[in-house]
Amino acid sequence: MSDPSIKSVCVFCGASVGKDPAFRAAAEDLGRRLAENGIRLVFGAGHVGMMGTVADAVLAGGGEAIGVIPQFLRDRELAHEGLTELHVVDSMHTRKRMMFDLSDAFVALPGGLGTLEEVFEMVTWRQLGRHQKPIVLVSTNAYWQPFDKLVDCVVSNDFAHGDTTTYFTTVPDPSAAIDYLLNG
Ligand code: AMP
């Protein structure tokens, strides 16, 4: 049975495309699959990098893409002006809160420090019982392996409960991410 509660997914990913062409291919693949499955994209509204690639693929597939960007980043990150909805907000905190509120789940593709921060925040909010939304890491060419290892290290040193490793799921590709979100 597919899960009808997953209607909007927040995608965290790099504002650049990274070194390995497989990263960009994964962004395209995820965007296409979101559109195919009628799942709305919520993201940081950038026109460039992995962010722009996911959004372009969603829109090309006839899907909906909702961007949320603070005013001060609108020019620096080149906000995508062709989105279904573009919310320009006052701060990073408002952006993150709105992305959280608009989404039923979170998917992270490879990305930089901003992406890491966003993923960790959603994991820690889950740890604090603020939400129960799924968090899925798409580990293209094992990109998220060090993240898994770091969390294992935190748990094995008794700085977090063992349950922490169940708050997110690492999958190899976008197909597995969509399958996890819809079928568990
Ligand atoms: P990056 O992964 O560093 O390429 O950044 C990806 C996205 O995360 C960009 O839209 C950044 O604006 C955003 N970002 C950067 N720093 C933060 C932060 N501290 N909290 C939330 N998002 C951030």
User: Which of 118, 124, 143 has most ligand 1 atoms within 8 Å of CB, for mutation?
Assistant: 118
User: Which of 24, 51, 92 has most ligand 1 atoms within 8 Å of CB, for mutation?
Assistant: 92
Q: Atom 12 (ligand 1): residue with closest C-alpha?
A: 114
Ligand 1 cavity residues, CB under 6 Å: 14-16, 44, 46, 73, 77, 92, 96, 111-115, 117-118
Q: What distance in angstroms lies between residue 14's CA and the mean position of ligand 1's atoms?
A: 8
Say what percent of the chain tops pLDDT 70: 98
Q: What distance in angstroms lies between residue 51's CA and the mean position of ligand 1's atoms?
A: 11
Distance CA 10, CA 58 (A): 13
Q: Atom 14 (ligand 1): residue with closest C-alpha?
A: 114
Output the pTM of the full model. Answer: 0.96
pLDDT in tens, the chain (184 residues): 456 689 999 999 999 999 999 999 999 999 999 999 999 999 999 999 999 999 999 999 999 999 999 999 987 878 999 999 999 999 999 999 999 999 999 999 999 999 999 999 999 999 999 999 999 999 999 999 999 999 999 999 999 999 999 999 999 999 999 999 999 8
User: Which of 106, 107, 113, 138 has most ligand 1 atoms within 8 Å of CB, for mutation?
Assistant: 113
Task: List, for residues 11-60, the tens digit of each pLDDT value.
Answer: 999 999 999 999 999 999 999 999 999 999 999 999 999 999 999 999 99
Beta bridge partners of 106: 10, 135
* Structural domains of the chain, ranges and CATH numbers in brackets: 8-179 (3.40.50.450)
